[in-house]
């Protein structure tokens, strides 16, 4: 077998492979004879079909199958011979079966050379969390508000009241589609309506009517309304005051908490908040590290790997619709996912290089701890642990996450790290 390799552009390689035709001829003869023993044809007893008849009727198809197998196997053999590791699948071109030899071209990409910079040049802020008693009180109040019962009152509405209203929206004096409703229930201060809408209702009583002026946000989903001034004619039918449940054993039981006493419940809530905050802070630090690694490591990425990542992102986007919408993922515009896909591929290549350089592996104890942290918030943690260890795909995802955390830890070990302490709500706050 003869092999020549040409670097065409960037990471693309063209490998021309020549295979002696007798290698194919011998395999074709073998399969023709095997087919003669198995095939059933009218006029012949089973196993007695002449080889010449089989070759005449099936020879062309058998040779095509053998040729396909030889091309694939020869490609793998050539990669090993040339010590080449491809990135993604090849494209086979110009397959020729003539003149006593088989020749074909395999077009593929190789992985880029990733040279890691000096991690000490990286500057990373790493926050630690301190969940205060005030944080716990606020979280418990939120849980109580979520289970509040609303009772009608005869007074002006205030923030956190629920109101039952009719409204009619107008732009330039004209009613616009989707801007009207009857019997709409709204919790004031929830932020579920456009800015200014809920504030305009605060202070109104049942039976009162009012027209409020608002402006749609510049980034509003409906481009026809974005940035435009509007009026809403509001009619309040009912004002309801929230009455929160008492923090007692009945309330705790309703939440499905492990603990039953108020003291034990507070400790459980704090533990869950600390776990959530730590994960949020890890993700933020990871994002900062990735940004700096990408900025300090410039290299081309294989287009085939980017395309594969785009396909995964397309599938993820379709799944976010909950399977209710029948959407062909392949029809989603490639451009929507291009930048994110390139970032993911680059990050993966850098992480792989760091893991190789520092000989990082998914430590079993760390994997176990990661799964136990996930399971801790459930009533039956052991069943969740068993689920992960009995599901190869889920376990692989956890191992990958543990590897990523180990890679980040290796980078931070040499980076210039500034540490500070924040409370729970600062830790979990999303960056714009």
CB neighbours of residue 375 within 10 Å: 17
- What are 401-417's pLDDT values in tens digits? 999 999 999 999 999 99
| Residue 142 lies inside a defined structural domain of this protein | no
Helix, strand, coil shares of the chain, percent, nearest 5, are 45, 25, 30
Residue 128 in contact with residue 421, Cβ under 8 Å?
yes
Rounded CA separation 140/259 (Å):
14
Last residue of a domain, one of 243, 269, 302: 243
| Mean pLDDT for the stretch of residues 271-290 | 93
| Mean pLDDT for the stretch of residues 230-247 | 96
Q: Give the angle subtended at the CA of 172 by the CAs of 167 and 174, to the nearest 5°.
A: 55
Last residue of a domain, one of 243, 274, 304: 243
SS3 assignment for 307-372: HHHHHHHHHHHHHCCCCCCCCCHHHCCHHHCHHHHHHHHHHHHHHHHHHHHCCCCCCHHHHHHHHH
Report the pLDDT value the prediction gives residue 322, as an integer from 0 to 100.
61
More confident: 249 or 35: 249
**Nearest Cα residue to 350 out of 289, 304, 412, 282:** 289
Return the structure tokens found at 231: 């009026």
Residue 266 has pLDDT above 90, yes or no: yes
Going from the C-alpha of 362 to that of each of 272, 313, 402, 404, the distances in angstroms are 25, 25, 6, 9
Number of domains in the chain: 3
Domain that holds residue 220: 148-243
CATH value at residue 48? 3.30.70.1050
* pTM for the structure as a whole: 0.72
| Residue 143 lies inside a defined structural domain of this protein | no
User: Which residues lie below 8 Å from residue 425, measured CB to CB, with a gap of 6+?
Assistant: 135, 138
More confident: 321 or 70: 70
CA 411 from centre of chain: 24
Rounded CA separation 90/334 (Å):
21
| Residue 141 lies inside a defined structural domain of this protein | no
Verify that 153 and 91 share a domain, yes or no.
no
| Mean pLDDT for the stretch of residues 260-285 | 93
- What are 170-193's pLDDT values in tens digits? 999 999 999 999 999 999 999 999
Verify that 285 and 417 share a domain, yes or no.
yes
- What's the pLDDT band for 99 if we cut at 50, 70, 90? low
Verify that 318 and 239 share a domain, yes or no.
no
Verify that 84 and 34 share a domain, yes or no.
yes
Verify that 357 and 214 share a domain, yes or no.
no
CATH value at residue 256? 1.10.3120.10
Verify that 40 and 127 share a domain, yes or no.
no
Rounded CA separation 204/267 (Å):
41
Last residue of a domain, one of 243, 260, 288: 243
| Residue 138 lies inside a defined structural domain of this protein | no
Verify that 272 and 397 share a domain, yes or no.
yes
Verify that 273 and 383 share a domain, yes or no.
yes
User: Which residues lie below 8 Å from residue 353, measured CB to CB, with a gap of 6+?
Assistant: 114, 116
| Residue 432 lies inside a defined structural domain of this protein | no
More confident: 267 or 56: 267
| Residue 139 lies inside a defined structural domain of this protein | no
Verify that 127 and 69 share a domain, yes or no.
no
Phi–psi pair at 74, nearest 5 degrees: -65, -35
Verify that 126 and 69 share a domain, yes or no.
no
Verify that 29 and 103 share a domain, yes or no.
yes
Q: Give the angle subtended at the CA of 57 by the CAs of 53 and 63, to the nearest 5°.
A: 110
Report the pLDDT value the prediction gives residue 378, as an integer from 0 to 100.
85
Residue 77 has pLDDT above 60, yes or no: yes
Beta strand segments in 206-350, E: 209-215, 229-243
CB neighbours of residue 187 within 10 Å: 18
Pseudo-torsion of CA 292, 357, 373, 273, nearest 10°?
-20
- What are 333-363's pLDDT values in tens digits? 899 999 999 999 999 999 999 999 999 988 8
């Amino acid at each position: 077998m003869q092999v020549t390799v040409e670097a065409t552009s960037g990471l693309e390689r063209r490998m021309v492979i020549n295979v002696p035709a007798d290698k194919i001829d011998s395999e074709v003869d073998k399969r023709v004879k095997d087919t003669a023993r198995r095939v059933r044809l009218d006029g012949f007893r089973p196993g007695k079909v002449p080889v010449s008849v089989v070759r005449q009727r099936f020879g062309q198809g058998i040779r095509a199958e053998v040729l396909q197998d030889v091309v694939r196997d020869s490609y793998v053999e050539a990669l090993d011979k040339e010590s080449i590791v491809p990135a993604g699948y090849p494209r086979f071109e110009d397959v020729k079966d003539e003149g006593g030899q088989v020749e074909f071209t395999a077009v593929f990409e190789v992985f880029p050379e990733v040279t890691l910079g000096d991690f000490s040049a990286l500057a990373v802020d790493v926050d630690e969390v301190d969940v205060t008693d005030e944080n716990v009180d606020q979280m418990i109040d939120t849980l109580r508000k979520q289970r509040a019962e609303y009772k009608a009152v005869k007074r002006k509405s205030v923030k956190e009241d629920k109101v039952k209203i009719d409204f009619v929206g107008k732009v330039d004096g004209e009613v616009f589609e989707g801007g009207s409703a009857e019997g709409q229930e709204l919790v004031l201060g929830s932020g579920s309506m456009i800015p200014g809408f809920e504030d305009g209702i605060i202070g109104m009583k049942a039976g009162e009517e009012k027209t409020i002026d608002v402006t749609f946000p510049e980034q509003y989903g409906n481009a026809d309304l974005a940035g435009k001034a509007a009026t809403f004619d509001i009619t309040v039918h009912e004002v309801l005051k929230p009455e929160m449940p008492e923090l007692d054993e009945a309330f705790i039981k309703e939440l499905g908490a492990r603990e039953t006493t108020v003291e034990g419940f507070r400790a459980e809530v704090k533990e869950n908040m600390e776990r959530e905050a730590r994960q949020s802070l890890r993700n933020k630090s990871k994002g900062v590290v990735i940004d700096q690694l990408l900025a300090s490591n410039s290299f081309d990425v294989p287009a085939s790997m980017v395309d594969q990542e785009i396909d995964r992102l397309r599938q993820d986007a379709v799944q976010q619709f909950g399977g209710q919408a029948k959407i062909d993922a392949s029809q989603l515009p490639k451009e929507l996912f291009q930048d994110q896909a390139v970032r993911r591929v680059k990050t993966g290549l850098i992480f792989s290089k760091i893991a190789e350089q520092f000989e990082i592996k998914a430590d079993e104890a760390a994997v176990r701890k990661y799964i136990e942290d996930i399971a801790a918030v459930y009533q039956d943690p052991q069943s969740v642990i068993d689920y992960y260890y009995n599901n190869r795909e889920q376990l692989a995802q956890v191992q990958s996450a543990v590897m990523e955390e180990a890679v980040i830890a290796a980078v931070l070990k040499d980076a210039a790290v500034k540490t500070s302490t924040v409370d729970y709500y600062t830790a979990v706050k999303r960056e714009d």
